[in-house]
Amino acid sequence: MAKLYFYYASMNAGKSTNLLQADFNYRERGMSTMLFTAAIDDRFAPGTITSRIGLEASATPFDPGTNLAALVLERHRTEALACVLVDEAQFLTSGQVDSLARLADAHDIPVLAYGLRTDFQGELFPGSARLLALADSLVEIKSVCTCGRKATMNLRVDAAGGAIGEGAQTEIGGNDRYVALCRRHFVEALGSA
């Protein structure tokens, strides 16, 4: 029976790289996959999953109004899908996560979702919260804080590297805007913001 997987981590832990490797593994064995990425993520080419180490693949962009299950089932009718992979899964809505779980349960299509667990204030993203509640398998991808401990938090920083403690939950950025830290250093940095 297919499962819904949630691979989560802090920024810069290699989530997209892991997704692209999983996709490659399926395709190398002659299996078809379908990739999704958040339309809001405009750091690279639209509809592209790009890793920091230079790997990339085309993907279907999604936003809160996208019916992912309908797109998957439409493609699955003409080309048997072995797996669905979702990058930036924190931007999924609760309803989209529910529909991905139904793809695994009712249509026997494994779904691998990759994303952040928490935002720059330590709060869960709605998509991540629902994935944490529903996923059959939760896998933490490890990253490292500057002190060497496991990084679990995402600190938003300004152009000078100073901590930012307030603002909209979603602000797209990479190393220029976010630093992965352990909880202790995250709390210390926010205390100085």
**Which listed residue (88, 123, 166, 171) is catalytic?**
88
In degrees and rounded to multiples of 5, residue 100 shows phi and psi of: -65, -40
Q: Active site includes 88?
A: yes
Please tell me whether residue 131 adopts helix, strand or coil conformation: helix
User: Could you tell me the maximum CA-CA distance found in the chain, to the nearest angstrom?
Assistant: 55
Q: Annotated binding residues, as ranges?
A: 9-16, 87-90, 145, 147, 178, 182, 185
List binding-site positions for Zn(2+).
145, 147, 182, 185
Annotated binding-site ranges for ATP: 9-16, 87-90
Q: Rounded to the nearest 5 degrees, what angle is found at the Cα of 26, between the Cα atoms of 20 and 28?
A: 95
Binding site as annotated, residues for substrate: 178
14: left (phi over 0), alpha (psi -120 to 50) or beta: left
Q: How many CB atoms lie within 10 A of CB 72?
A: 21
**Active-site residue numbers?**
88
